[in-house]
Amino acid sequence: MGGFFDAPAKEAEIKELETQMSAPDFWDNQEKAQKIVQKRSRLEKALQNQKDFETAVSDAEVLFEFAETDEDSVGELIELIEKLEKEVDEAETQALLSGENDPNNAICSVQAGAGGTDAQDWSEMLMRMYIRWAKNQGFKVEIFDETPGSEAGIKSATFRVEGEYAYGLLSAESGVHRLVRFSPFNSGGSRETSLTSFFVTPEIDDDIEIDIEDKDLRIDTYRASGAGGQHVNVTDSAVRITHVPTGIVVTCQNQRSQLQNKQVAMQVLRSRLYELEMEKRRAEAAELEDNKQDISFGSQIRNYTLQPYRLVKDARTKHERTDVDNVLDGDIDDFIKEYLLFKKGQKQSN
């Protein structure tokens, strides 16, 4: 456990940050200073977690001795071990997140692909899976935009997951998800394959410079609508912003006013433009490497099979589960951790 969390490295990094914080001009740049303070806080929290784990292990050793003669201690020991196992697993996953934007909130987009009504239904199922996962983590979810399907499900949706390391965790899920099942939407009940993309970008702080000029934007307003006639506005409060140079389009209709919808849409646009710039930089860096890794958005990452057998299998890590219903209810922590370990192994091998 000590080797995995690497306490000496964290302690050295805290000392370096504290040296920066002791500089007379440290607070001259408020945004930069705040980030350094937050980073130190995260490192201190990680060190405290390790100390708490070590204390819990010692308590478990004592309870184990008592359990040999005291039956009441057995249940307490089992409860402590299960709690410790869960907390250590969560901390190990978080320790794999070291990217600059990993601690940020996540801007998530779901887009139905090939498969017609089945794909739109699959998109809603996938969105539900991630929202349930987020709420199980204690994260807050806010839906910015949702376009209902023609018969069922959704064509697309954009939502924010707010919580510590939301982006770092969900970035492991970014890609194309493939569902195979007997279709509930045709009389023959034929076996259908549906594709839906799940795309994740970090929510960007206002201090990060993303140059957006007014002349590059086309802003359209329209009347917001909701499924079943709910939340229907009588004014043109919904906002669609098109960034002409890149072709990126973002929409928001779920806020109370046109101004609020525009503010949220601009926030999502900033996130998308930032990710586009980072993608360009990664591509440029990859061209210099002999073993270029595929980082394209269109790559299929996971298969969900409901019929004729039941199996969820990740195409990257080969990790698989047969309890499909639990996975679709948001139990995906193991898939996320397996990918983060896989990604770490790739970096080390390169």
Model confidence over 183-237: pLDDT tens digits?
Answer: 988 877 788 889 999 999 888 765 556 778 889 999 999 887 655 444 445 567 8
Q: How many CB atoms within 10 Å of residue 280? A: 10
Take residue 212 and report the two structure tokens written for it: 């957006």
Helix (H) or strand (E) holding 155: strand 154-162
Q: What is the pLDDT of residues 18-57, one digit of tens each?
A: 899 998 888 888 767 877 887 788 788 778 878 887 888 8
Position 291 in a domain: no
Shared domain check, 171 and 83: no
Take residue 266 and report the two structure tokens written for it: 């601009």
Q: Which residue, 74, 95, 116, sits at the end of a domain?
A: 95
Shared domain check, 150 and 252: no
Mean pLDDT value across the chain = 83
Mean pLDDT of 51-75: 78
Half-sphere exposure of 313 (CA within 13 A, CB side): 8
Position 101 in a domain: no
Position 119 in a domain: yes
Shared domain check, 258 and 343: no
**Domain total for the chain?**
3
Taking alpha carbons only, the member of 337, 340, 343, 333 closest to residue 130 is 333
Q: Which residue, 95, 128, 152, sits at the end of a domain?
A: 95
Which residues, including other chains, have CB under 8 Å from residue 279's CB and lie 6 or more apart? 295
Half-sphere exposure of 101 (CA within 13 A, CB side): 17
Distance CA 150, CA 120 (A): 8
Residue 266, domain extent: 214-286
Query: To which residue do tokens 């589960």 refer?
Result: 321
Take residue 66 and report the two structure tokens written for it: 């008592």
Angstrom distances, CA of residue 292 to CA of 96, 201, 276: 22, 22, 18
Q: How many CB atoms within 10 Å of residue 333? A: 16
Q: What is the pLDDT of residues 327-348, one digit of tens each?
A: 999 999 999 999 999 988 776 6
Distance CA 112, CA 159 (A): 15
Q: What is the pLDDT of residues 278-333, one digit of tens each?
A: 777 667 555 544 333 333 334 689 999 998 899 999 999 999 999 999 999 999 99
